[in-house]
Amino acid sequence: MVERTGRPGYLQIADDLRKQISDGRLVAGQALPSTAQLREEYEVSAGVVKAAISVLRTEGAVIGQQGKGVFVRDRSDTPASGQTAPAAREDDVTAEQLTEVLAAIRDLGERVARIEKTVFPEPPRAGRPGK
């Protein structure tokens, strides 16, 4: 479950999945649980789960295969922790910030849509369209 700590939920989920990968509960080649399973486990929307997975993809921790799922990436072909080039670290920070901005925009869009629906309810439809 995502906690109300002030840290965005998708980052909390990414942290938890990252920890599961680092401590071996999720191993290279293993599929992550489905979006539906993660939604249920963390009690969040699909958008929050997708943002968390996007963070992990950006970091290179997981890789998606169209129509098959998202899998833990084999880290043996990537530099060891602490050996990342400075430019790569800056790219990681920029990518994480971009992911946060995109999630915030998505969240704001959903909030605006709910407000618009409340303020501007749809009028009842006439029996015959176009008349």
Domains and CATH numbers, the chain: 9-74+84-119 (1.10.10.10)
Q: Which residue has the higher pLDDT, 76 or 5?
A: 5
- Compute the radius of gyration of the chain from its Cα atoms: 19
Per-residue pLDDT tens digits for 17-68: 999 999 999 999 999 999 999 999 999 999 999 999 999 999 889 999 888 9
The structure tokens listed for 5 are 């700590």
pLDDT range class, residue 128, cuts 50, 70, 90: low
Q: Phi-psi category of 109—alpha, beta or left, where left has phi over 0 and alpha has psi -120 to 50?
A: alpha
This prediction has a pTM of 0.58
